[in-house]
Amino acid sequence: MPEITDTDTRKEIAALTHDVARLTKELNDEKTRQVYAAMPDKYDPFGNPTEYKGINGDYTKIQPRISEMYYSLPLEPDFTERKNLRRSYGKGAWCMLLHFALQNALVFLLIKLMVYVLSTMNPDAEYSAITNYLRGSSILVGLNLMICVSCNVLVALIGMKWSGIRSSSLIRTNDFGFGRAFQYCMIGVLIWTVSLYLVAGASSLFSKYGIDILIDSSGLGKTIFGKIILAVYTSILAPVTEELFFRGVLLRTLSKANQRFAIVASAVFFGLFHGNIQQFILATLLGIFLAHITLKHGSIIPSIIVHAFVNTTAGIVGFFAGLGTASSVLTYLALLGAALVGVIMLLVFNSRDKLPSTTPAQARRGIAVAAGSLPFIAAVVVLAAETVLNLMSKK
């Protein structure tokens, strides 16, 4: 029988030690996998496969218990989760209120300043004559548009800073190319065309009560300068800055727990933001689609392109439709053809990319929570009141 030496013993001990270390590591790795498997995904705590990833953010900022082992979100949010969700929804609502207050304050101060200047230059002119002149001035309307653009950008930057939204995350686009752009633009034209008929129906209904819901923007386009301002604003400035605010900031702050709620709520705010029934109809319908494609591609670039295309198309159609009967007929036939292409594009899009659905737990974290947010309710009431007041002023 061979003699067992100290060297052999040490080798066996070393081998056993290695095996014990290996087994311990495997056991720890398995425990770690079990721990992570028992924890909800902080970026997708509801496990909703219909929602778009990378949008909602880290849910531990809403519900810190997500990081606890074996914790699962209850059907109803607890006090901490509800409070943090309301705070997130409130940030978007405060931005809406800030935008409303800032824009109206600047417009008021601008009018007062211009009245003062004109009164100083024309001391014999009556106050009513000066104000009537300003109302018909394309310069004043152009300055109002510039104020709106400035407020869009300023409030968007404040909202991004407040909500921790990085500017790079708003333009990092996924799975988007020329084919998608064409498809979305045709759908946008379809939505605009449908809204024209809805506006016509609403106008006929309101006219029975002596209310004209149609807006008159002819004053701005009477001069070359006014036409240039209008074209630049509607085709470039408005699409870029409005998308930055509404789909870049507002949509993100409302998307923490329920993307469908965020899509609809941001679209309604977008509609109310325009302050009149005519634009409310188009902006709300288009806003739903713009919010959807923003979430799908994780970027505001697609929504900017569609928004700019729809606005530009509306301007071109309005121009050619006003040239005469023949031009008007041809223009609307072309619009009808584009709308039919849009129907096909929408059917194709909807077959693969339906609006995100809502789980029972998410349904209790959408409007049910937002309704308890004072800033959210205040923003809806203030914007709706402005729309109603503007409507009543035309009676």
The answer on pLDDT for 319 being more than 80 is yes
Q: How does residue 12 score in pLDDT terms, banded at 50, 70 and 90?
A: low
- Chain centroid to CA 67: how far? 30
Spatial distance between the Cα atoms of 31 and 21, rounded to a whole number of angstroms = 15
Spatial distance between the Cα atoms of 361 and 188, rounded to a whole number of angstroms = 32
Contacts of residue 270, Cβ cutoff 8 Å, sequence gap at least 6? 242, 246, 283, 284, 287
The confidence score (pLDDT) of residue 35 equals: 46
The confidence score (pLDDT) of residue 249 equals: 96
**Residue listed under structure tokens 């159609």:** 317
Both tokens of 353, joined, read: 């990319």
Is 288 within 8 Å of 224 (Cβ atoms)?
no
The answer on pLDDT for 165 being more than 50 is yes
Cα four-point dihedral sign 279, 334, 229, 156: positive
The answer on pLDDT for 247 being more than 70 is yes
The answer on pLDDT for 213 being more than 90 is no
Spatial distance between the Cα atoms of 187 and 318, rounded to a whole number of angstroms = 19
Domain ranges of the chain: 80-167+176-392
The confidence score (pLDDT) of residue 355 equals: 94
Contacts of residue 320, Cβ cutoff 8 Å, sequence gap at least 6? 327, 328, 330, 331
Is 130 within 8 Å of 118 (Cβ atoms)?
yes
The confidence score (pLDDT) of residue 350 equals: 94
The confidence score (pLDDT) of residue 42 equals: 87
How far are the Cα atoms of 49, 85, 180, 251, 310 from residue 264, in angstroms, in the given order?
Answer: 19, 17, 22, 9, 20
Residue 148 exposed, middle or buried by CB count within 10 Å (0-12, 13-18, 19+): buried
- Chain centroid to CA 153: how far? 14
The confidence score (pLDDT) of residue 54 equals: 83
Spatial distance between the Cα atoms of 59 and 56, rounded to a whole number of angstroms = 7
Q: 216-241 burial, b for 16+ CB within 10 Å, e for fewer? A: eeeebbeeeebeebbeebbbebbbbb
The confidence score (pLDDT) of residue 68 equals: 83
The answer on pLDDT for 322 being more than 80 is no
The answer on pLDDT for 137 being more than 50 is yes
Between residues 324 and 381, the one the model is more confident about = 381
The confidence score (pLDDT) of residue 2 equals: 54
The answer on pLDDT for 6 being more than 60 is no
